[in-house]
């Protein structure tokens, strides 16, 4: 008994870590896909452009996405590195936000990475969905063997919660990123928000479903131990459909 407890504890901790990582990947894929649907990134352009972010939801008369924010090198009447923001999208006069040269070049490097992330986002999202489907099928198979449905319910709830919270977190993160560094910060904030939203939603959905199912003793049977003669709770969804002995007598 004492030898099995550390192994069970380690297994539970590993499962918890794996679930958190899985939800982080789900949220990150959601954040990347949301960014790719909403924004396009261009590094360079005109001589003074360092990085440009275009809003795909706002089109020009020619049907092209309008630029939302860009980082520029010093030019003309603006003798410092700065962020330009498009009044046609924000409704606010371009503030020409002053930044350091180091920040401007860091934004350019980040823009290159974000451009790659945007391009791979559809594949990452498809892979995340496929992996979730694979895991759900695995839980369905486990439940069939155990004559239960609890594992499937918990997995579907946590996956749906992670996805929904990932989208919500992406929106919040993008808003915060825009307030800090319009354009590049918008996309970075969306990614980070998606990751944290995915973890929070997935873990929260898992905990909530467990609480509800525990309260109603879902797939938990009251059994009679054939060795010691005491009643015990048999968790069918974990231990299979048949169990004749309590935990102390196994």
Write out the two tokens for 174. Answer: 């993008």
pLDDT of residue 229: 85
Confidence of residue 15 (pLDDT cuts 50, 70, 90): confident
pLDDT of residue 5: 52
pLDDT of residue 105: 95
Give the pLDDT mean for 37-43: 96
95-131 pLDDT, tens digit each: 999 999 999 999 999 999 999 999 999 999 999 999 9
- Would the pLDDT of 22 be above 80? yes
Mean pLDDT of the chain: 92
51-68 pLDDT, tens digit each: 999 999 999 888 999 999
pLDDT > 70 fraction of the chain, expressed in percent and rounded: 95
185-238 pLDDT, tens digit each: 999 999 999 999 999 999 999 999 999 999 999 999 999 888 888 889 999 999
Q: Which of 4, 9, 1, 8 is nearest to 249 (CA)?
A: 1
- Would the pLDDT of 76 be above 90? no
- Would the pLDDT of 1 be above 50? no
Write out the two tokens for 119. Answer: 């391009």
Confidence of residue 10 (pLDDT cuts 50, 70, 90): low
Residues in the chain, overall count: 250
């Amino acid at each position: 008994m004492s030898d099995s407890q550390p192994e069970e504890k380690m297994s539970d901790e590993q499962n918890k870590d794996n679930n958190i990582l899985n939800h982080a990947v789900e949220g990150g894929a959601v954040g990347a896909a949301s960014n790719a649907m909403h924004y396009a990134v261009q590094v360079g352009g005109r001589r003074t452009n360092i990085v440009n972010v275009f809003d795909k939801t706002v089109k020009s008369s020619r049907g092209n996405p309008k630029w939302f924010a860009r980082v520029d090198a010093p030019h003309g009447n603006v003798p410092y590195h700065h962020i330009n923001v498009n009044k046609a999208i924000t409704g606010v006069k371009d503030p020409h936000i002053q930044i350091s040269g180091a920040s401007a070049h860091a934004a350019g490097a980040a823009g290159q990475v974000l451009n790659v992330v945007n391009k791979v986002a559809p594949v990452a999202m498809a892979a995340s969905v496929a992996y979730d489907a694979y895991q759900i099928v695995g839980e369905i198979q486990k439940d069939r063997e155990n004559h239960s449905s609890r594992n499937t319910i918990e997995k579907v709830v946590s996956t749906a919660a992670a996805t929904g919270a990932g989208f919500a977190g992406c929106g919040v993160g993008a808003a915060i990123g825009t307030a800090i560094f319009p354009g590049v910060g918008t996309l970075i904030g969306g990614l980070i928000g998606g990751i944290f939203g995915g973890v929070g939603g997935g873990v929260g959905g898992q905990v909530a479903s467990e609480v509800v199912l525990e309260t109603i003793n879902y797939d938990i049977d009251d059994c009679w131990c054939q060795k010691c003669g005491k009643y015990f709770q048999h968790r069918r969804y974990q231990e299979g459909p048949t169990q004749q002995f309590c935990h102390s007598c196994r």
